[in-house]
Chain A
Amino acid sequence: MSSTTQELIPPEAREPGGGRPGRRTGGRVRRLTGRDKLVLSLMVGIPTLIELALVWLPTLMSVGLSFTRWNGLDLADIRPAGTENYQYITQDYPPFWPAVQHNLLWLLFLALIATPLGLLLAVLLDQNIRGSKIYQSIFFAPVMLSLALIGIIWQLFYQRDNGLLNFLLGTAGTPQAVDWFGDSSVNIWAAMIAATWRHAGYVMLLYLAGLKGVDPSLREAAAIDGANAVQTFFRVVFPAMRPINIVIVVITIIESLRAFDVVYVINRGTNGLEMLSALVIQNLVGEGQVIGVGSALAVVLLVISLVPIVFYLSRTFGKENRA
Chain B
Amino acid sequence: MSTTASTPARTGRTHAPAAARAGSKPKRHYGTHAFLLVMAVMWLVPLGWSLYTALRPVASTNEHGYFSFAGDFNFDNFAQAWTQGGFSTYFWNSVIITVPAVLLTLFLASLMAFAVSRVNWKFNITLLIMFTAGNLLPPQVLAAPLFEMAKHFEVPYSFSDSGNMLNTYIIVIAVNTAFQMGFCTFVLSNYMKALSADLTEAALVDGAGIWRQYREIIMPLCRPAFAALGTLQVIFIYNDYFWPLIFIQSGNRLPITTAINNLQGEFLSNYNLLAAGAVITVIPTLVIYLLLQRQFVAGLTLGSSKG
Contact A141 B11 (CB under 8 A): no
Chain B interface category by residue count: 35 or more
Query: How distant is the Cα of A126 from the Cα of B36 in the complex, in angstroms?
Result: 12
Q: Is A95 part of the contact surface with B, judged by Cβ < 8 Å?
A: no
Q: Is A32 part of the contact surface with B, judged by Cβ < 8 Å?
A: yes
The one of B33, B197, B307 in contact with A1, judged by C-beta atoms closer than 8 angstroms, is: B307
Contact A137 B293 (CB under 8 A): yes
Contact B21 A48 (CB under 8 A): no
Docked complex: B248-306 residues within 8 A CB-CB of A: 257-258, 260-261, 264, 271, 274-275, 278, 281-282, 285-286, 288-289, 293, 296-298, 300-302, 304-306
Q: Is A112 part of the contact surface with B, judged by Cβ < 8 Å?
A: no
Q: Is B219 part of the contact surface with A, judged by Cβ < 8 Å?
A: no
Query: How distant is the Cα of A223 from the Cα of B138 in the complex, in angstroms?
Result: 44
Q: Is B95 part of the contact surface with A, judged by Cβ < 8 Å?
A: no
Chain A residues with Cβ below 8 Å from B157 are none
Q: Is B179 part of the contact surface with A, judged by Cβ < 8 Å?
A: yes
Given the interface pairs A135-B40, A206-B301, the reply to whether A65 lies near B144 with Cβ below 8 Å is yes
Given the interface pairs A9-B195, A13-B199, the reply to whether A4 lies near B302 with Cβ below 8 Å is yes
Contact B29 A291 (CB under 8 A): no
Q: A216: nearest residue on chain B (CB-CB)?
A: B16
Query: How distant is the Cα of A55 from the Cα of B147 in the complex, in angstroms?
Result: 12
Chain B residues with Cβ below 8 Å from A155 are 264
Query: How distant is the Cα of A46 from the Cα of B142 in the complex, in angstroms?
Result: 20
Contact B146 A54 (CB under 8 A): yes
Q: Is B177 part of the contact surface with A, judged by Cβ < 8 Å?
A: yes
Query: How distant is the Cα of A255 from the Cα of B177 in the complex, in angstroms?
Result: 20
Chain B residues with Cβ below 8 Å from A2 are 1, 190, 301-302, 305-307
Number of A-B contacts (CB under 8 A): 409
Q: Is A139 part of the contact surface with B, judged by Cβ < 8 Å?
A: yes
Chain A, residues 264-306, CB within 8 Å of chain B (1/0): the string is 1100000000001100110011000001001100110110010
The one of A9, A125, A220, A298 in contact with B194, judged by C-beta atoms closer than 8 angstroms, is: A9
Given the interface pairs A46-B108, A284-B147, the reply to whether A213 lies near B5 with Cβ below 8 Å is yes
Contact B285 A51 (CB under 8 A): no
Contact A1 B190 (CB under 8 A): yes
Contact B224 A209 (CB under 8 A): no
Closest chain A CB from B148 CB (angstroms): 6
Contact B182 A51 (CB under 8 A): yes
Determine chain B's interface SS by DSSP, over half rule: helix
Q: B240: nearest residue on chain A (CB-CB)?
A: A146
Docked complex: A201-242 residues within 8 A CB-CB of B: 201-202, 205-206, 208-210, 212-213, 215-216, 219-220, 222-223, 227-229, 232
Given the interface pairs A3-B2, A26-B120, A205-B8, the reply to whether A164 lies near B45 with Cβ below 8 Å is yes
Given the interface pairs A29-B121, A144-B285, A167-B66, the reply to whether A260 lies near B32 with Cβ below 8 Å is no
Chain B, residues 106-122, CB within 8 Å of chain A (1/0): the string is 00110110111001110
Q: B33: nearest residue on chain A (CB-CB)?
A: A129
Q: A139: nearest residue on chain B (CB-CB)?
A: B43
Contact A153 B50 (CB under 8 A): yes
Query: How distant is the Cα of A294 from the Cα of B242 in the complex, in angstroms?
Result: 16
The one of B11, B47, B197, B257 in contact with A132, judged by C-beta atoms closer than 8 angstroms, is: B11
Q: Is A56 part of the contact surface with B, judged by Cβ < 8 Å?
A: yes
Docked complex: B172-228 residues within 8 A CB-CB of A: 174-175, 177-179, 181-182, 185, 190-191, 193-197, 199, 204, 209-211, 214, 221, 224-225, 228
Contact A4 B305 (CB under 8 A): yes
Query: How distant is the Cα of A251 from the Cα of B289 in the complex, in angstroms?
Result: 22
Q: Is A50 part of the contact surface with B, judged by Cβ < 8 Å?
A: yes
Q: B109: nearest residue on chain A (CB-CB)?
A: A47
Closest chain B CB from A173 CB (angstroms): 9
Chain A residues with Cβ below 8 Å from B242 are 260-261
Query: How distant is the Cα of A285 from the Cα of B148 in the complex, in angstroms?
Result: 11
Residue of B3, B129, B151, B239 contacting most chain A CB atoms (<10 Å): B3
Contact A43 B120 (CB under 8 A): no
The one of A3, A47, A65 in contact with B3, judged by C-beta atoms closer than 8 angstroms, is: A3
Closest chain A CB from B306 CB (angstroms): 5
The one of B136, B193, B214, B301 in contact with A4, judged by C-beta atoms closer than 8 angstroms, is: B301
Query: How distant is the Cα of A189 from the Cα of B242 in the complex, in angstroms?
Result: 23
Q: A316: nearest residue on chain B (CB-CB)?
A: B306
- What are 19 of the A-B contact pairs (CB < 8 Å)? A5-B190, A5-B302, A8-B224, A13-B199, A15-B194, A21-B196, A25-B120, A36-B210, A43-B112, A59-B142, A62-B144, A128-B15, A144-B296, A146-B241, A206-B305, A232-B22, A258-B139, A277-B138, A313-B129
Given A43-B115, A153-B50, 14 extra CB contacts under 8 A: A8-B298, A15-B197, A21-B197, A33-B209, A47-B185, A50-B174, A131-B36, A133-B11, A139-B39, A141-B47, A156-B49, A209-B304, A254-B136, A281-B140
Sort A-B residue pairs by CB-CB distance and give the 5 closest, nearest first. Answer: A146-B239, A229-B23, A54-B178, A132-B12, A61-B145
Residues of A in contact with B (beta carbons under 8 Å apart): 1-10, 13-16, 18, 20-21, 23-26, 28-29, 31-33, 35-36, 39-40, 42-44, 46-48, 50-51, 53-59, 61-62, 65, 72, 75, 121, 124-133, 135-149, 152-157, 159, 162, 164, 167, 172, 194, 197, 201-202, 205-206, 208-210, 212-213, 215-216, 219-220, 222-223, 227-229, 232, 243-244, 247, 250-251, 254, 257-258, 260-261, 264-265, 276-277, 280-281, 284-285, 291, 294-295, 298-299, 301-302, 305, 308-309, 312-313, 316-317, 320-321
